[in-house]
Structure 1
Amino acid sequence: MTQEALLRVRSWFAPGRLHDPRTATVVGRLLGTAFLICFLTGLVSHYLQHPPGALADRLPSRPAWGYRLSQGLHVATGIAAIPLLLAKLWTVYPRLFTLPVVRGVRHALERLSIAVLVAAGVFELLTGLLNTVQWYPWPFSFVPVHFAVAWLVTGALLVHIAVKWPEIRAHWGRRSPGTLELPAEDALSRRRLLGTVTAAVGAVTLTTAGQSFTPLGRAALLAPRSPEHGPQGLPVNKTAAAAGITETALADWKLTVEGPTPYVLTLAELRGMRQYDVELPIACVEGWSKSARWSGVRIVDLLERAGAPAGSSLRVTSVQARGAYRVMEMGHEYAHDPLSLLALRLNGEVLSADHGHPARIIAPNRPGVLQTKWVRRLEVL
């Protein structure tokens, strides 16, 4: 390599005018806020899907739109964090190549926290983004690994903040004592950089958030899923064909309700019971959601007919032969909520096969994967 080429390569890793602590701090606090929102909303999503035993009967069924808001915010913030992470890495990357590699215990902790934070942060955002399009090019199960790495990101972020706190505090405010006063043209460049990052965050948010915030639906050009497209005006994640549901499997369908007073109902008998209408959203972990009008029999009425004691919960089994969510449990808050239905109709029409014909669960404040389709059995617990 020639001397000129060597100097050029070294210049790539030399701190520039905007690779300064103030710029890194401004971008970093935005990125840290995004990671915090993702972590907290991710906890909500995980524990609603996989509640520990002690929590199962304490999860609230209201507000009805709660999961739609938290998961939409989770996915939208995660996508917005991608340009923020790229900008943060750009502001600090020259320091990653400074020598010596380690200058003491504090510096070693700083380097280690950065390595873990960057690797885990990139992993979380990349796998989360691919989950929104339901593409899983890896051998592990997405949900438990994504959840575990979220704790790793949060721990590394806290260590990084603790180690870097003196520098963060010195450059937090525009007029903080440690803030470097840049020349006028450099200060303008910093504002342009931050303006560009803000515009990028706004652009990806505007063009994707419409998959859950339906007023922005027409602007959701980059959203993996449009809530406007799907059978009966509502998207589906898994079709009847993908679930192995055939007309033969449903030919002699009956609903079995197990409890102190068990009974069996045909579809005609279910339709002959008192029907209720509710307006509830389907909100999926991939970030899309949409409200719809559902009609059917209240779960609480089916439980009472089975002689279910007060405070009982419910196990729901699908006709679907395989799948992680073919069997689902509802805590008593959900099972006894008057908005929870065994739905038979969607937007005034009989459920299509893809939406769970002949009957499906619809309940407030629940992830879409727990709104079980093709229900064949209810069991009082």
Structure 2
Amino acid sequence: MRLLLSPRFRGTPPRSRGVLPRFHGRLHDPRTATVIGRWLGAAVLVCFVTGVVSHVLQEPPGALADRLPTRPVWGYRFSQGLHVASGIAAVPLLLAKLWTVYPRLFVTPPVRGVRHALERLSVAVLVASGLLELFLGLLNIAQWYPWPFSFRQVHWALAWVMVGALLLHLAVKAPLIAAHWRHRSPGTRQLPAPDARDRRSLLLGVGAAVGTVTVVTAGQTSTPLRPLDLLAPRHPDHGTQGLPINRTAAQARVSATAVRDWRLQVTGPRPYALTLPELALLPQHTEELPIACVEGWSASARWEGVRIRDLLDRAGAPHDARLRIVSLQRAGAYGVTEMGASYARDPLTLLALRVNGRVLSADHGYPARIIAPNRPGVLQTKWVSRIEVLT
């Protein structure tokens, strides 16, 4: 691709020049950077919007908690799968973008005025936050957390820093982007044939890389692509009872004694408790619902159990009541979750006792777990021991 090191740097570079290589080639030009930047911008936009959707569903602000949509039932499965896929696709795009602009990342003097200072600041923050955001996201997909801070809070904050830096960068570079947005920039001469071919080759290579990493990982969400699910950390069809498991009963420290002595406690105006046999005597309902994890994998299953709204009616709960769900787990996050009225009163929301025709295994939440439509997997609480009506 005519990526050449300057002849002046073939030997030991002068001390005043530093040790960084200098690239001279037509592919390190505004037109190439603009084309790749458009693709990267689209991936970042999709990833950001779907990330906001995920955050709102997990931590709904204020009164919105009781009005979250439960339809379509596959909504979170689609949005979170798109979030992870667009984030993975952004990795080769960001690397290619950095390659095209590399010669201009290290210039002297470093600042040549207010506009240039703003540009340099936006680039520094954008590159740092973008690399860190994607790095943390990839480790989260693999469920590896070698850091002491909360991934979700840092990931959420970094997303806003990255978008803010991107908007500032676009504002500063708007004239240059506009001049090179179209296939032929006005007032510029035709590129030599070798350079034009090299640019097409570069863009085709980047496109192929994006397509490849997407196809071999998106199968963890997209059923048609499952035969090609080669690099995704989770395969939706692998796991006990036909479903993957993120946290086992042993990891959650759910003891055999706690399960053996289990009774479901339901609070409210008319509180009561049920043993597992008593719960099994209540009207049972079977629903086909997906379970979608924030790490990107999802799978559908047949769930059988008691409708949550039937349990609430028995407790005399008001129609607009919110719930607090308490798990037997003693380790890990989301041992206590809340459920808004829109989910609690939905006829598809179950306290599930069986999955795919079999009693829940210990790792899938025996004796009972929550399953609800269009709800993040981390909130589909396992090993449910208590349902509290909040007034």
TM-score by length of 1: 0.97
Distance 1:309 1:205, change over 3 A: same
- Asked whether the 8 Å contact 2:9–2:21 carries over to 1, the reply is no
For 1:155 and 1:335, the matched residues in 2 are separated by 37
Partner residue in 2 for 1:106: 115
Partner residue in 2 for 1:216: 225
1:344 paired with 2:350, answer no
1:258 paired with 2:267, answer yes
Partner residue in 2 for 1:57: 66
For 2:248 and 2:215, the matched residues in 1 are separated by 29
Aligned equivalent of 2:96, options 62, 87, 103: 87
Paired amino acid for 2:55: H
For 2:372 and 2:251, the matched residues in 1 are separated by 23
Structure 1 spans left out of the alignment, 5+ residues: none
Paired amino acid for 1:246: S
- Asked whether the 8 Å contact 2:334–2:381 carries over to 1, the reply is yes
Secondary structure at the aligned position of 1:12 is classed as coil
Secondary structure at the aligned position of 1:54 is classed as helix
Aligned equivalent of 2:371, options 362, 365, 376: 362
Aligned equivalent of 1:206, options 193, 204, 215: 215
For 2:73 and 2:177, the matched residues in 1 are separated by 40
- Asked whether the 8 Å contact 2:251–2:331 carries over to 1, the reply is no
For 1:59 and 1:225, the matched residues in 2 are separated by 28
- Asked whether the 8 Å contact 1:275–1:296 carries over to 2, the reply is yes
Distance 1:69 1:179, change over 3 A: farther
**RMSD of equivalent CA atoms:** 1.5
For 1:134 and 1:3, the matched residues in 2 are separated by 43
Q: Give runs of aligned pairs for residues 323-338 of structure 1, distance below 5 A.
A: 323-338=332-347
1:168 paired with 2:153, answer no
Aligned equivalent of 2:316, options 307, 322, 341: 307
Aligned equivalent of 1:376, options 382, 385, 388: 385
1:21 paired with 2:30, answer yes
Distance 1:88 1:172, change over 3 A: same
Partner residue in 1 for 2:292: 283
CA positional deviation for 1:297: 0.3
Aligned equivalent of 2:11, options 2, 5, 22: 5
Secondary structure at the aligned position of 1:119 is classed as helix
Aligned equivalent of 2:304, options 292, 295, 299: 295
For 2:10 and 2:22, the matched residues in 1 are separated by 15
For 1:333 and 1:14, the matched residues in 2 are separated by 58
CA positional deviation for 1:98: 2.0
Q: Deviations over 1:28-83 (max 9, x none)?
A: 01101111111111111111111222321121111111110010000000000000
Identity %: 68
Deviates more, 1:132-141 or 1:148-157: 132-141
Partner residue in 1 for 2:186: 177
TM-score by length of 2: 0.95
Paired amino acid for 1:300: R
Partner residue in 1 for 2:248: 239
Paired amino acid for 1:211: Q
For 1:192 and 1:246, the matched residues in 2 are separated by 59
Q: Deviations over 1:290-340 (max 9, x none)?
A: 011100000011111111112111111011124321111100000000000
CA positional deviation for 1:7: 5.8
Aligned equivalent of 1:155, options 155, 158, 164: 164
For 1:321 and 1:258, the matched residues in 2 are separated by 21
CA positional deviation for 1:283: 0.5
1:44 paired with 2:53, answer yes
For 1:373 and 1:198, the matched residues in 2 are separated by 41
Partner residue in 1 for 2:5: none
Structure 2 spans left out of the alignment, 5+ residues: 1-7
- Asked whether the 8 Å contact 1:276–1:296 carries over to 2, the reply is yes
Partner residue in 1 for 2:147: 138
For 1:160 and 1:305, the matched residues in 2 are separated by 57
Paired amino acid for 1:136: Y
CA positional deviation for 1:358: 0.4
Q: Deviations over 1:342-381 (max 9, x none)?
A: 0000000000000000000000111111000000111111
CA positional deviation for 1:200: 0.2
